[in-house]
């Protein structure tokens, strides 16, 4: 009777030890997994901070592509502007707030605009701009066309042409390439509109 009791106690102890080992292993695996996930998240955060910067759109000049209050990531590491890119740069008219505009032409390129047809020409070639919203108003103090973009500068415009102060205005002018902070690549807020920026 005693042996059975001792055997039963031994069996119960063994079963309890095995359960504890399973729980210990499960916790160990969980914490190891969480540690790995945390390391990956920290690495992703550092990469984002190194190569990208968050900015907020201020005003309606880039509608319908971007809206006032949109939060974007801009890519800045070794970035070189390309025609069609949406960039963030220091305002050429000395305003404190940076501007967000679309690159229309680069240094040496010739820009012309036909307001009757709402067409922009770069080096004589009409741009296909399915992203714009209206271009009927001729800006006050507009530059003379055809206009050749100066060396080291970018001719930029907002997508909402009738409500955008941009390189068409003589008092605004072209963007100095050295003041470009980066290219808008992703809208992360509002969450319902998260998308790549084009």
- Which residues participate in catalysis according to the annotation? 61, 101
What single-letter DSSP state applies at residue 169? B
β strands within the chain, DSSP E? 52-56, 71-75, 86-89, 99-106, 110-114, 119-122, 125-126, 147-148, 153-157, 175-176, 180-189, 195-196
Beta strand 125-126 with 119-122 is antiparallel
d(CA 72, CA 69): 9
End-to-end, the C-alpha distance of the chain in Å comes to 83
Instruction: Assign 38 to helix, strand or coil.
Output: helix
d(CA 150, CA 146): 13
Q: CA gyration radius for the chain?
A: 29
Instruction: Assign 188 to helix, strand or coil.
Output: strand
């Amino acid at each position: 009777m005693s042996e059975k009791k001792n055997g039963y106690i031994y069996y119960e102890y063994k079963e309890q030890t095995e359960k504890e080992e399973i729980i210990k292993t499960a916790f160990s695996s969980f914490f190891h997994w969480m540690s790995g996930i945390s390391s990956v998240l920290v690495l992703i955060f550092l990469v984002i901070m190194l190569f990208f910067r968050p900015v907020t759109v201020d005003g309606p000049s880039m509608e319908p592509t971007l809206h006032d209050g949109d939060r974007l990531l801009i890519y800045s590491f070794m970035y070189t502007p390309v025609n069609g890119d949406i960039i963030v740069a220091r305002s050429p008219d000395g305003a404190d707030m940076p501007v967000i505009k679309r690159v229309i032409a680069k240094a040496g390129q010739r820009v012309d605009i036909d307001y009757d047809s709402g067409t922009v020409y770069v080096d004589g070639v009409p741009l296909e701009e399915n992203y714009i919203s209206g271009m009927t108003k001729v800006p006050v103090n507009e530059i003379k066309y055809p206009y050749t973009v100066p060396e080291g500068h970018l001719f930029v415009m907002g997508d909402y042409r009738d409500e955008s102060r941009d390189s068409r205005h003589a008092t605004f002018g072209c963007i100095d390439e050295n003041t470009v902070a980066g290219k808008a690549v992703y809208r992360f807020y509002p969450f319902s509109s998260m998308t790549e920026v084009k």
